[in-house]
Copies of this chain bind each other. A is one copy, B any other.
Amino acid sequence: MQITGSMVIGQQSVFGSAGTVKAINPATNSEFEPAFGLATNDNVEQACQLAAATFDSYRETTPEQRASFLEKIADNILGLGNTLIERAHQETGLPVARLEGERGRTMNQLRLFAKVVRDGVYVSATLDSALPERVPPRPDLRLRKIGLGPVAVFGASNFPLAFSVAGGDTASALAAGCPVVVKAHSAHLGTSELVAKAIQQAANDCGLAGVFSMLIGNGRQIGQSLVAHPAIKAVGFTGSRQGGMALVRTAAARAEPIPVYAEMSSINPVFLLPDALKTKGAAIAQGFADSLTMGAGQFCTNPGMLIALDSPELQSFIEAASAALQGKPASTMLTPGIHKAYSTGVERLNQVSGVEVLAQGQAATAPCAAQANLAVCGAKDFLSNVDLHDEVFGPSSLLIRCKDLAEMQAIAEHIEGQLTATVHATAADYAIAKSLLPTLERKAGRILFNGFPTGVEVCHAMVHGGPFPSTSDSRTTSVGASAIDRFLRPVCYQEFPAELLPTSLQDANPFGIPRVVNGELTL
């Protein structure tokens, strides 16, 4: 497969005529070929109209048709072979092994949603029989969920495969029966084109041409036009708080406001409880340094904050974590812009009054390489200074030293909403952990014991979401089987003739899906 600089609009490959842009290799900070054509507003219009035109037929495809389509996409992505991995490596600076792992994750996601579609739990099929003798009579009522409509997807820079063109948002929206229009992330345009063509081919092969398009735009204008377009009925986004909130505002200002699922900002506090520090502080220190620097710290779930009680054991932990961090080489970040924001953020953090730098990783020797950073401050400093609350995206973490449990509890209560919160504890710490948990449940979408938050399993029980500002909608997750729920709405059918009922609600249950019948869940 050749990279041509084209967008995908349904069955068409279109070289945009609003100018060109080239990809940048962050390891060398230099542009490389080919040029990508930028979308016009007409291209946005074409992609949105096509998505709207295919919605009614796409959402009534059978579970088997939709599941096969998702599996075909996975197969086609694997079929791109090393061309995909090599291009992604050049565009993102991420190591080949990591990208191969991420490709596996991307395929697992597509296959998980194929299973979700076949299982049919997501349909929420519910039947209440008519009660003609009751006063007043009860009509026959049946509920199913259908797709919201065409979905706009904005991929993330930090997962060029798993959270991008064929990532979790696209997979779950397609599974829900929603056509998808992706705005390609400018940090991996060639990767995006390759994956978009793999999806296009799968759509053509499955007789579903038109359910997928991908646009290329510079800056924010094309993305904003996409979210403002009347045909678009929901938005999936992973990126910065500023970028996410811009889309939230555009969506809210529409004549018909639409939901935005923006996964934005999280510092992922890690609570180090006393007995855990005492009995396994060194191991925790090593695990922390590994988690912090993995992928140049560019994970939404990077452990950006540690909270611990002051003690000799904490001092030992600091020494072990510092030593581990000092051995970590600087690694290339995704884009020059992200690298610059990281450097500026670390510099600002280290200069805040009350903040002391504990350790740094090895110095950078390449243009966009990030040096890891660990700093410390007191709980009072943190509580009184909002400058310390912002996420620094990259391998930087802030240790907050508390003088007692009340301060630790105050920190937990004070932080904004998070994707994750972690507790390191032994059985001797459980009483403290128990007192923290209600607060952590209110603050985070996932709570971990004795692990690190990087590593987001793709399964049914995962929650990759959380209270604002970690996401714009805490009621959902963007990873795991429940991610499909974001793109659905319920419709009730009252006294429908059997001939006109949707298949999933027919008496014979032709799809064999779980249903709630007269209030009882039946398999």
Contact = CB atoms under 8 A, between A and B. Distances in A.
Contacts of A477: 490, 492
Given A139-B451, A500-B430, A521-B523, A446 B492 contact: yes
A464 to B, nearest CB: 8
Interface in A437-469: 437-438, 441-442, 444-451, 455, 457, 459-463, 465, 467-469
Contacts of A496: 447, 449
A347 B468 CA distance: 46
Contacts of A521: 119, 121, 514, 523
Contacts of A6: none
A142 B516 contact: no
Contacts of A128: 457, 459-462
A127 interface: yes
A410 interface: no
Interface in A55-72: 55-56, 60
A257 B468 contact: yes
Contacts of A476: 489-490
A388 interface: no
Contacts of A467: 256, 489
Nearest to A505: B461
Nearest to A145: B475
B447 A516 contact: no
A495 B445 contact: no
Contacts of A494: 446-449, 451
Contact of A461 (B55, B127, B248, B447): B127
Contacts of A55: 442
A101 to B, nearest CB: 9
A459 B490 contact: no
A447 B121 contact: no
Given A472-B257, A521-B523, A461 B142 contact: yes
Contacts of A9: none
A45 to B, nearest CB: 18
A460 B126 contact: yes
A37 interface: no
Interface of A: 55-56, 60, 115, 119, 121, 124, 126-128, 136, 138-139, 141-143, 146, 148-149, 248, 252, 256-257, 259, 416-417, 425, 427, 430, 433-434, 437-438, 441-442, 444-451, 455, 457, 459-463, 465, 467-469, 472-477, 481-482, 488-497, 499-500, 514, 516, 518-519, 521, 523
Given A119-B519, A447-B496, A449-B500, 6 more contacts: A56-B438, A248-B252, A257-B472, A445-B489, A447-B494, A463-B492
